[in-house]
Amino acid sequence: MQEHLNFYIDGAWVSAQGTRTQDVIDPFTEQPVARIALGDARDLDRAVAAARRAFPAWAGQSREQRLAVLQAVIAAYETRMDAIAMAVSLEMGAPLTLARQAHAVAGLSHLKQAAQVLAGYAFDEVVNRTRITREPIGVCGLITPWNWPLNQIACKVAPALAAGCTVVLKPSETAPLSALLFAQVLHEAGVPPGVFNLVNGDGPGVGAAMAAHADIDMLSFTGSTRAGVAVAKAAADTVKRVAQELGGKSPHIVVDGVDLPATVRQAALQCFRNSGQSCNAPTRLLVPAHLHDAATAIAVQAAQSLRPGDPRDAATTLGPVANAVQYAKVRECIATGLREGAQLATGGLERPEGLAHGYFVQPTVFANVATTMAIAREEIFGPVLCILPYGSEEEAIAMANDTVYGLSAYVSAPDLDHARRIARRLRAGMVHLNGARADHAAPFGGYRQSGNGREWGRMGFEEYLETKSMFGYEEPEA
């Protein structure tokens, strides 16, 4: 079993101040595969102090100097892609194929995107005689989740460093292994001491202290809406900037006239990807009432085509959910759907056939779901698809918007103009039209209880900048 009892602070691996530890559980075997130290406020203080000391020099580096460091990080990351994919698979159960093709690749993409933005970003502009400049905000606390661990780490750390900030990272304590590898990558790449720091810990021990810390200028948090509210409250006394990427209950409106088998199959598989553990997953499939039964049959076929099993087996296409807590939560949501009277088309409470262990949830399809049901309103965060019939396009749009969330939405229509018209009326931070994939150069984030601020690309980079107006900076016109 791996032992990871040190934290990365001020350019070195140092011992934790306390004695608390936690096992990292492989969700396939349900057995411990590693042990980590859990930090406390003393460890955090040490990391924040290192980041504070390092900030002036790092912020003062030229664009070219920071670009050179980012390029070194990219090169070092590329040599660790297989190890990172294996760590992700081991810590949160993603099939190794998905971990290689999506998880590890996403981290690399965000690093490259941050370098690209930095290379061309205009930090200064002139308005009348005023010079407006954008400067790094300072020391940033970053709290990342277990569902897409490297994606979320890289999409925060990369733009923060590119902008000239220094950071303290608290990865999920249940999925910390890929974060530890990421710290090794940055060390090998020559990131200056104190610019990047990592402290493992849980929410009460490190997360809450990070949110309240007076020497942290910005907090970027990804997780549940419930935890995001707690983070914002803890951060309020220090009036730090708080960026939050929270929950979702994303609708997918299917319009009459599309290729129904292809559209519904893709929609279902998108919902089940990563075992349904994506905040932007299209978990509500809205279909015309007269196509409901046909769409349900197609979704059932898609669900039953998945192969659950050992994540390290190349044939596996569905891994377990990431941990015991999530396993219990998803099963309780399925039980709620059954109690509410939704039609169970496939799946259910039992493990997939032939699997006696592991946090496996069958890919589950509920049909004839009503908008008032809890399974249509609450984020389940597992491989559960809800199919809701609608009568008119106006009703579909109203149903899609009938949620406290607003992270993502999906539209499939017979032509692009039709999809565009619907997309403009959806209250969500992102809309996928006719199967379009996400773009790491475009902003990622949502409306309402899905959070505030944006990640990815130029707008994600700008989250880590302050704006300064220097009046009278320019010479007056002759």
Q: Give the E-state strand segments of 5-117 in sequence order.
A: 6-9, 12-15, 21-26, 31-37
Q: Give the E-state strand segments of 120-240 in sequence order.
A: 124-127, 130-136, 139-143, 166-170, 196-198, 218-222
Separation of CA 14 from chain center:
28
Give just the sign of the alpha carbon dihedral 267, 340, 427, 113.
Answer: negative
Q: 């039992």: which residue's tokens?
A: 350
- Closest C-alpha to 390, from 422, 420, 424, 364: 422
Active-site annotation holder among 140, 165, 271, 279? 279
Cα 7 from Cα 359, distance rounded (Å): 29
- Closest C-alpha to 30, from 474, 326, 449, 432: 326
Phi, psi of 170 (to 5 degrees): -115, 100
Phi, psi of 413 (to 5 degrees): -130, 160
Cα 48 from Cα 43, distance rounded (Å): 9
68: buried, middle or exposed (CB in 10 Å: 19+, 13-18, 0-12)? Answer: middle
The answer to whether residue 386 is catalytic is no
Buried b (16+ CB within 10 A) or exposed e, 306-322: bebbbbbeeebbbbbbb
- Cα-Cα end-to-end distance for the chain: 74
Element (H, E) at 252: strand 251-254
Looking from the CA of 430 toward its CB, the CA atoms found within 13 Å total 30
Structure tokens given for 5? 């009892």
The answer to whether residue 245 is catalytic is yes
Kindly report the number of other CB atoms within 10 A of residue 1's CB atom.
9
Q: Give the E-state strand segments of 259-399 in sequence order.
A: 284-288, 343-346, 364-367, 384-390
CA angle, corner 337, sides to 344 and 226, nearest 5? 140
Element (H, E) at 299: helix 292-305
Cα 157 from Cα 12, distance rounded (Å): 18
Active-site annotation holder among 245, 379, 455, 463? 245
What is the residue type of 332?
E
Which positions are catalytic? 245, 279
